[in-house]
Each structure stands twice: as C-alpha cells, then as structure tokens.
Amino acid sequence: MDQEELQFLGFTGIFKESIKIIFSWKKIFTKITLAFIFPLSFIFLAHFQISQLLFFNILTHQTTLNNSTALSSPDSAKLSRVISSDWTAFWLFKLAYFTFFFVLSLLSTSAVVYTVACAYTSKTITFRNIITVVPKVWKRLMVTFIWNFVIILAYNIVAATLFFIWVFLIGVSISGIMIGVALLIIYLVGFVYITLVWHLACVVSVLENVYGIRAMVKSNDLIKGKMGVAGSIFVLLVVWILGIEFLFEKFVVLGLELNLGIRVGIGVLCSLLLLKVILLGLVAQTVIYLVCKSYHHENIDRSLLADHLEDYLEHYLPLKAKDVQLEEL
C-alpha cells in the first residue's frame, strides 16, 4: 500500500492489512510462530495449570494444619516446614515463568516487527537472517521495557497513594463511591495509554535509531491522533486473550470431571487460538506504527529503512555519500 494511503486505515483496515501481510509471508511467519510464539503461548497457558496444582497443594496442607489439635507436635512442625517449602516452590515457579515469558515476548516482538518491516521494504528475508537479527534487536527492546517498567511503577505508586487518600479521607458513601469509580476509570485509561505507548515504542526501537526513553517519547508523539483506533484494537486483543484464558481455566484447569482427552483437546485448541491472536497483535502494532507515521506525514524512506534493517546483519554496511570521494580518483 502507498504510504499516503496508510493514514486512512481505520480499525477494520488495520486488521485486514495485518492478515494480508501474514498470509503473503505465510512460510516465514509459520517458522517464527513455531520458534517463538508457540512456546510463548504454551508457557502462558501451562503456568495456570501448574500454579493451580501448587496452590491446591498449599491449601491442602494448610487445611490439615488448621484442623490439627496438637500444634506443638512434631507432625505439625513438620507440616509447617512443608507449607513453607510449598510457598517457596510456588514463588520460584512464578519467577521462572515471568522470566521466560518476558524473554520470549521480546524475541517474538523482535522477529515479527523485523519481518513486517522487511515486507514493507520488499526486502528478501530468510528465517536464518531473523535468527541472526533477533538477539541484537532484543537488547534494544529490553532497554525500552525497563523504562516502561519504571514508568508503570511510578504510575502505580501515585495511583495507590490517591486510592489510599480516598479510603481514609472520604470513606464509603455515595459521593465517595462515585469518586472511587471515577479514580478507577482514570487509572484504567492511563494504564491502557501507557501500554499503547510502550507497544508502539517497541516498534520504534526496532525500526529507528532510538530506544529506551527516547523511543517512549517518540511513540507518545506518533500515537496522537490515532489513539482511538489503537486503543480499540488493544482492548479487542485483550478481550480475546482473556476469553481464551477463561476457556482454558474452566475446562482444562478446573474441569476435573471432564474426560482427559477432552481436556487435552481444549488445551490444544486454546494454544492454537492464543498463538494466532499474539501473532496478529504483533503484526497489527507494526502496521499501526506505519499508519501513525503516515498520519503525521513523516516520510518513510524505504531504501533508508532497508539499510537500517541490513545494518543488524553486520555483514553489509551501506555506503554514504561522504564515504565516496570520486574527486580523489
């Protein structure tokens, strides 16, 4: 699509363009999905099952301890140590899950954004090139994520302070509840806005020579004027993911009365649906970046963008005008 036409893409147009890109580069996106997105979706769903088993184990031991009549007995002391070990295992698992989820998320984002940019510049791309590029792009995305984490942390501290003031100064009353609801709505809107800026900043970190806080600032400027479209797409994707999560927890994690084959089948279905939603979301956020650039009339030089993408491979460095002094010949 011509760059000037991109600015007119709306909610439906962005989804159509994203799906078109995926099917046009079906082979390369299939490899990316199998290498990065499938493990990501599998870990995301599997952690609910494992967390539930660990937590139920803790509850069982805690119930046994509470019903014990001899709290000072050796058995009770042993059971208390078991519960402590269970909690340690639970939080260590959570830490391992978030670490793997974080790494795979950045790797998936790097691969998809790089591939979509190559498609936009009509640049030949192979999966081997992607594997070479991803570790280098991942470092830039990590810096951007750290800055986003700092911003989210500061935002939550301010929000918690305001809610604390609301609880202790206003209290539970009709006016107090109305103020609390208003604060909650403002908090959610602000959280979605920060998340949108971060997602767009991830694309900026890959496709431009800025990352970290500079990418966040650039993203904040780009998303102005397209906030409604980007927000609608983000909310829809979140609703889809929550729906898949609900389906998995109800019929796989908690569906103990169901046949094992049915539970496994539903689990596989949820994994397939989730990886499709994740892939579509990553492609869509790259298309949103191009739409925002077009909306603000920022020229996207395909040749310069192709050179920028080629620089990640290191084996090719494009010549600049100042590097070629034909007069000296």
Per-residue pLDDT tens digits for 257-274: 778 888 889 999 999 999
How far apart CA 186 and CA 209 sit, in angstroms, is: 33
Cβ atoms within 10 A of the Cβ of 211, count?
Answer: 23
Pick from 58, 95, 97, 96: which is nearest to 79 by CA?
A: 58
How far apart CA 1 and CA 152 sit, in angstroms, is: 36
Contact between 248 and 267 (Cβ < 8 Å): yes
The reported pTM is: 0.84
pLDDT(227) > 80: yes
Residue 208's φ and ψ, nearest 5 degrees, are -130, 170
Q: Any idea what the Cα angle at residue 97 is, between residues 234 and 112, rounded to 5°?
A: 45
Read off the pLDDT of each residue in 186-195 and give the average, rounded to a whole number: 91
Task: Quote the longest CA-to-CA distance of the chain.
Answer: 97
Output the CA–CA distances (angstroms, integers) from residue 159 to 109, 151, 172, 179, in the order listed. 29, 12, 18, 13
Contact between 279 and 112 (Cβ < 8 Å): yes
Read off the pLDDT of each residue in 210-220 and give the average, rounded to a whole number: 91
Per-chain mean pLDDT for the chain: 84
Q: If you count them, how many residues does the chain have?
A: 329
Cα-to-chain-centroid distance, residue 11: 20
Q: Which of 67-76, 87-96, 201-210, 213-222 shows the lowest per-residue confidence on average (mean pLDDT)?
A: 67-76
Q: Per-residue confidence at 314, pLDDT binned at 50, 70, 90?
A: low
Quote the pLDDT of residue 176.
74
pLDDT(322) > 70: no
Tokens of 268: 């596989």
The alpha-helical segments, DSSP class H, found in 121-259 are 127-165, 174-207, 213-223, 227-248
Residue type for position 88: T
pLDDT digits (tens, 9 = 90+) for 3-37: 777 788 888 999 999 999 999 899 999 999 999 99
Residue type for position 304: L
Quote the pLDDT of residue 72.
55
Secondary structure (DSSP) of 118-142? HHHTT----HHHHHHHHHHHHHHHH
Those residues whose C-beta lies under 8 Å from the C-beta of residue 207, and which sit 6 or more positions away, are 113, 117, 289, 305, 308, 309
pLDDT(135) > 50: yes
Tokens 């994994």 locate to: 271
